[in-house]
Structure 1
Amino acid sequence: MAGSPDELHLRKRPLKINTKTTPEEETATSATKWEGEPVSPAGRLFHQPTFNCHIISIFGFGTPVNVDTFIEGLEATLVRHPRFSSIPVLDESNCKKVLRWRPVEVNVKDHIIIPSLSSDPTSPSSNDQLVEDYVSSLSLTTVDHSRPLWEFHIINIPSHESASAAVFRGHHSLGDGMSLTSLLLACTRQSDDPTKPPSLPPRRAGSLYAGPRPETGIWAFLLWIFSFVVLLWHTFVDMLLFVASMLFLRDTETPLKGHKGVEYARKRFVHRTIRLDDVKIVKNAMGCTVNDVLVGVTSAALSRYLYRKHCETNDEKKFPRNTRVRSTLLVNIRPTPGIHDLAEMMEGGKNNAKYGNLIGYMMLRFPIVIHEDPLDYVRQGKAIAARKKNSLEAVSTYFSGKLILKLFGIKALTLHYQSYMNTMKVVMAVDDSVISDSHQLLDDFVESLSIIRIAAEN
């Protein structure tokens, strides 16, 4: 999340940090001295003074956290990863200014924070609010830029979901969500064989977009040519809408859009658990994907929320037609890093694991409408997802992250879906001053999925 306005005012440019050097390094050439990997284009965006972005993740545990054991685990895994043992430094050699990662020594204890919170061991619900308030306060500060850009906050307070929690906060330049999730899994081992990393389904390979491949025969070749032309056309239309958004096309004023300066406001992090089986019931009944269902559920939940807010604040019950609500959807544009590759990276081995921020952007419009048939939300979601898959919009916008930020800014609502085992978390970061009833909005997601699932079963 963005830092406070005072912090951003002081940080006019990327920090130049003086790390300890040996006599040999002092006499080394520039080429030898600056061997660090350049920060990716997306990573440089996250270091912009007006967009100092962090990732905050909460991990719940079944037992209280043993801090000493936790530190030992980090020393054996995470801090061995090059990105988590380096700092971004401005390389001004050869008359060029390049932000590079430079390795430094890591003292893990400097990255462990144990807050003093007054909890009630007999009231898990009040502790939930205590943890929620503490995590929300992290959105107003930033990590220490004089050392590797990550930290863990250990909260040994029981809640209704866990006996304790560890809150990870890391600068977004460390990697995107896919890289960090893969890295986290690479730090774990199988319960039946502690020497092996967890086994996962085969990672995706190939291009982001969907389209038939040429097989044999003239008709197959013509079909491939046609699909390629459609791909180019969709990409052209998407980029044309991108330019139109830059010039005149704006979203409708709604509570989701937020106000000027919302990127600096305190964010509240809330979540709700839904059953992944419910999502799969709809997926199987509709012949679509999990993501298609989630797009439909999101459209339904936002429609319910906005219709209710409109009726509360307007005498006329009729909701304005053609309400435009769009989301900037982040898309992973490279194959997922292999768990074994990342494990080897932390063990010091050489491999070709692709790590970091390699993400593109899509503009996704959510239809704001109340359908009589709840399954129409999923049908629309399926059509939207299919259309976006047949476009190179995400690849085309990879290098334009700064422009996208300027065009759309930071909205009052950020939404994530995270699946684990047989559950799925709906996670939101909201601006309290704009969306004060964030838990009610979560109820809208739960209710929307329930209505859609019941319709799918009948």
Structure 2
Amino acid sequence: MEQQTMEIKIQRDISEATVRKEEEEEEEQPLSPAARVFHAPEFNCYVITVIGIKRKIEPDVVIEGLKQSLIRHPRFSSKLVNKRNKNKQTQSWVRTNVVIDDHVIVPDIQTQNIENANAEAFLESYVSDLTLVPLDISKPLWELHLLDLKTTDAENVAVLKFHHSLGDGMSLMALVLACMRKTSNPEELPTLPYQNRSSSRSSRLTAGSRGDFRCVWLFRVLWSAIMMVLNTVGDALEFTATAMFLKDTETPIKGDFRLSKRKRMCLVYRTVSLDDIKLIKNTMKMTVNDVVLGVTQACLSQYLERIYGEKKKKKIVGEDQESKRNSNDLPKRLRLRSAILVNLRPTTGIQDLADMMAKGSKCRWGNWIGYIVFPFSISLRDDPLEHLRRAKKTIDRKKNSMEAALTFLAGRFVMRLFGVKVTANIINRAVSNTTMSFSNLIGPIEEVSFFGHPITYMASSVYGHPHALTMHLQSYMNKMTIALTVDPTVISDPHRLLDDWEESLRIVKAAVEERGSVHQ
């Protein structure tokens, strides 16, 4: 009997020790390698999102909603703690009590003197000021600004600001969406577009041709594997060269972040029709991402041609000014590449995050991201659809490469060998030698509400990395929002760049419609 009692006591002690260990692990989590890099001075990155609201914001309702959702997420209720043990510095997330009023800011805006046009300028200035103010590391690294400001496309505006170490863009967007509900049904989570990846080739296979098909299929698999190896080796060599010496052409949109560690950034955005993009996608048999990359390539070509033309025009004097100017003022062999961040782990679902915040369940989280270096073909073309074809050809080749995974693994390897500072310097140098950043995320297909506040648009972007231009596209309902984060000392007219994107979309759509009418 005594022996049985002793065994029960031992089992209970083991169980209690296990529970205490799990609680301690939950209370304190070390930063992932990517999160540590995002805290390095050379690569201190933030995510910022402007959300247009259909009606006046009720701060008390939003605060109560945050208490029931966002602050239940471990990263949004943990602060960053730096420790030094035996000459080794460690960084951990430590759970803390969240004072919600420290994170929700409601500025006093004197709106009586602000008209619609001035409201847009005020919002841009407000967001620009936020890019200069770092978040306080003594608190969880996020803020929500609620602005009682009426603009041309929203009754009020909310601005979310996160530190990038909290998670990658897809995780953070999924988390924000998990805090939202459908306007048509406040009990339902937002619905994202379903992507059908099934192949139609197998449906065309007949019983008599299966033997031949297997040989063809085997040949294609082997050829695809060979090309993947060759593409990966080529991309790895290019990335290594970019980190060491291979620089993009010095263009009017390429900044030099070696001159200053911290710069004021400007966020501007424009909303276009997603239906127009889908029309082009369906006609050209492409993806939405192919289309927006092609339109972006056309936009950058048009913008740079005009800038170079204006510079050349200033140098030409006399009556034969126009005759001396060439029709194409773009430099030859212009190298312009974009760094594209790629999420490498299975996407965390909105339902998973909603369950985690509501029930305390666990789900995947963190920064598991690699890089793709995407070259834009900058030139003026008689056929605007050629921009789409070239962009699709390039991105299809990048898909058949392990470049993103390789850069991620190489980053972890360098981190273990040389530490955060060396890793951040290498990444900073590689990114600095490219021209811009680009990303594209899908959003809800129906109208959603943020704690009962219907949303009109979402414009997200990133700053803190060494680029003067970052372009982020976000779909929502039947709209696509293009958000640009720019260094105003390099790109002083970002709205003009948005005009060119919108005009390029219009030209491409017209060419697609003309092509469709010809083939009918």
Is 1:397 the equivalent of 2:407? yes
Q: Deviation of residue 331 (structure 1)?
A: 1.1
Q: Deviation of residue 217 (structure 1)?
A: 4.1
CA distance in 2, matches of 1:452, 1:201: 24
SS in 2 for 1:74: helix
8 Å Cα contact 1:362/1:394 also seen in 2:
yes
Q: Deviation of residue 411 (structure 1)?
A: 1.7
SS in 2 for 1:264: coil
**What code does the residue aligned with 1:386 have?**
D
Of 433, 452, 455 in structure 1, the residue corresponding to residue 508 of structure 2 is 452
310-319 vs 66-75, greater mean Cα deviation: 310-319
**What code does the residue aligned with 1:408 have?**
V
Is 1:428 the equivalent of 2:420? no
CA distance in 1, matches of 2:389, 2:194: 28
Q: Identify unmatched segments of 5+ residues in structure 1.
A: 1-27, 206-214
Instruction: Map 1:87-102 onto structure 2 (within 5 A).
Output: 87-92=79-84, 97-102=89-94
Q: Deviation of residue 320 (structure 1)?
A: 1.4
Q: Deviation of residue 339 (structure 1)?
A: 1.3
**What code does the residue aligned with 1:406 have?**
R
**What code does the residue aligned with 2:399 have?**
K
Q: Deviation of residue 354 (structure 1)?
A: 1.5
Of 297, 313, 333 in structure 1, the residue corresponding to residue 344 of structure 2 is 333
Assess, with a 3 A threshold, how the Cα gap between structure 1 residues 357 and 203 changes in structure 2: closer, same or farther. Answer: farther
8 Å Cα contact 1:203/1:335 also seen in 2:
no
Assess, with a 3 A threshold, how the Cα gap between structure 1 residues 277 and 35 changes in structure 2: closer, same or farther. Answer: same
Of 371, 378, 391 in structure 2, the residue corresponding to residue 368 of structure 1 is 378
Of 70, 73, 83 in structure 2, the residue corresponding to residue 78 of structure 1 is 70
Q: TM-score, normalised by structure 2?
A: 0.77
8 Å Cα contact 2:42/2:428 also seen in 1:
no
SS in 2 for 1:242: helix
8 Å Cα contact 2:28/2:93 also seen in 1:
yes
Of 158, 173, 194 in structure 2, the residue corresponding to residue 181 of structure 1 is 173
Q: Deviation of residue 52 (structure 1)?
A: 1.8
Question: 1:127 maps to what in 2?
Answer: 119
8 Å Cα contact 1:299/1:377 also seen in 2:
yes
SS in 1 for 2:153: coil
**What code does the residue aligned with 1:46 have?**
F
**Cα distance per residue 1:383-422 (max 9 Å; x no partner):** 1111111111011111437322222321211111111100
Question: 2:361 maps to what in 1?
Answer: 350
CA distance in 2, matches of 1:139, 1:186: 26
Q: Deviation of residue 191 (structure 1)?
A: 4.1
Of 150, 154, 163 in structure 2, the residue corresponding to residue 158 of structure 1 is 150
8 Å Cα contact 1:263/1:411 also seen in 2:
no
**What code does the residue aligned with 1:273 have?**
T
**Structure 1 runs, 4 residues or longer, greater than 6 Å off:** 28-31
8 Å Cα contact 2:80/2:138 also seen in 1:
no
Assess, with a 3 A threshold, how the Cα gap between structure 1 residues 312 and 192 changes in structure 2: closer, same or farther. Answer: closer
CA distance in 2, matches of 1:275, 1:55: 25
Q: Which has the higher relative contact order, 1 or 2, with Cα contacts under 8 A spaced 6 or more apart?
A: 2
8 Å Cα contact 1:268/1:429 also seen in 2:
yes
Is 1:233 the equivalent of 2:230? yes
CA distance in 2, matches of 1:73, 1:343: 13
Of 283, 286, 306 in structure 2, the residue corresponding to residue 285 of structure 1 is 283
Question: 1:379 maps to what in 2?
Answer: 389
**What code does the residue aligned with 1:358 have?**
W
Assess, with a 3 A threshold, how the Cα gap between structure 1 residues 195 and 423 changes in structure 2: closer, same or farther. Answer: closer
SS in 2 for 1:37: strand
CA distance in 2, matches of 1:341, 1:405: 33
Assess, with a 3 A threshold, how the Cα gap between structure 1 residues 390 and 30 changes in structure 2: closer, same or farther. Answer: closer
CA distance in 1, matches of 2:26, 2:477: 43
Of 265, 273, 276 in structure 2, the residue corresponding to residue 275 of structure 1 is 273
Q: Deviation of residue 51 (structure 1)?
A: 2.1
Q: Indicate the structure with greater helix content.
A: 2
Q: Identify unmatched segments of 5+ residues in structure 2.
A: 1-19, 198-210, 316-324, 412-422, 433-465, 515-520
Assess, with a 3 A threshold, how the Cα gap between structure 1 residues 354 and 311 changes in structure 2: closer, same or farther. Answer: same
Assess, with a 3 A threshold, how the Cα gap between structure 1 residues 300 and 190 changes in structure 2: closer, same or farther. Answer: closer
Q: State percent identity of aligned pairs.
A: 42
**Cα distance per residue 1:195-237 (max 9 Å; x no partner):** 44334345899xxxxxxxxx99454334322211211110000
CA distance in 1, matches of 2:121, 2:134: 22
Instruction: Map 1:40-59 onto structure 2 (within 5 A).
Output: 40-59=32-51
Q: Deviation of residue 33 (structure 1)?
A: 7.1
Of 79, 102, 110 in structure 2, the residue corresponding to residue 110 of structure 1 is 102
CA distance in 1, matches of 2:62, 2:23: 38
CA distance in 2, matches of 1:309, 1:386: 31
Task: State the Cα RMSD in Å.
Answer: 2.7
CA distance in 2, matches of 1:349, 1:152: 23
CA distance in 1, matches of 2:196, 2:266: 34
Assess, with a 3 A threshold, how the Cα gap between structure 1 residues 396 and 128 changes in structure 2: closer, same or farther. Answer: same
Assess, with a 3 A threshold, how the Cα gap between structure 1 residues 71 and 393 changes in structure 2: closer, same or farther. Answer: same
Of 218, 221, 246 in structure 1, the residue corresponding to residue 243 of structure 2 is 246
8 Å Cα contact 2:303/2:500 also seen in 1:
yes
Is 1:442 the equivalent of 2:506? no
SS in 2 for 1:449: helix
Q: Deviation of residue 264 (structure 1)?
A: 1.8
Instruction: Map 1:300-311 onto structure 2 (within 5 A).
Output: 300-311=298-309
Q: Deviation of residue 271 (structure 1)?
A: 0.5
**What code does the residue aligned with 1:172 have?**
H
**What code does the residue aligned with 2:277 have?**
V
